[in-house]
Amino acid sequence: MDDLGRKVKLPKSTVYDRIRRLEKNGVIGGYHAKLDPSRLGYDYVGIVLVKARYGPHYHDKLGKKIAGIPGVWAVYYVYGDYDFVVLMRAKNRDDMMRINGSLVNMGDVERTSTQVAAKILKEDPRVPLTNNRK
């Protein structure tokens, strides 16, 4: 807190209170280590477009099922020709086929289209913050 307080030119107690308030309000949802997936053996990145069968609350039900597949690290319900964009990491081709197979074999999935990233040019999960003070 001392370093952060110095950087933002605020007392440590003020910084502490503001951080606690952000945590309480759900703005800060946790603290995580930044891991390098490729150093852990996850060299394959796949982007899967999923077309689903429509039904009541299908996006919530199917989205939860997709999110539960090991290797899937992001699921987005989207508007357009497809219903979901799924991001996955796999250790090798067999692992990627396992993840794809899990998706394709779900009863509510009509079709998938999978792209494999040839090279990661940018990947940054941070949310940009702007200074709203004038």
The answer as to whether 48 is a domain residue is yes
pLDDT digits (tens, 9 = 90+) for 25-47: 999 999 988 888 888 989 999 99
Query: Same domain, yes or no, for 73 and 52?
Result: yes
Residue 119, pLDDT score: 93
Dist CA 28 CA 31 (whole Å): 8
Query: Same domain, yes or no, for 56 and 84?
Result: yes
Residue 133, pLDDT score: 56
Query: Same domain, yes or no, for 42 and 97?
Result: yes
Spell out the residues 6+ positions from residue 88 whose beta carbon is closer than 8 angstroms to its own: 45, 46, 48, 69, 71, 72, 73, 96, 99
Total domains, the chain: 2
- What is residue 37's DSSP assignment? G
CATH number for the domain spanning 50: value is 3.30.70.920
pLDDT digits (tens, 9 = 90+) for 51-77: 999 989 999 999 999 999 999 999 999
| pLDDT above 80 (res 131) | no
Q: What is the pTM of this model?
A: 0.81
Dist CA 103 CA 111 (whole Å): 9
| pLDDT above 60 (res 109) | yes
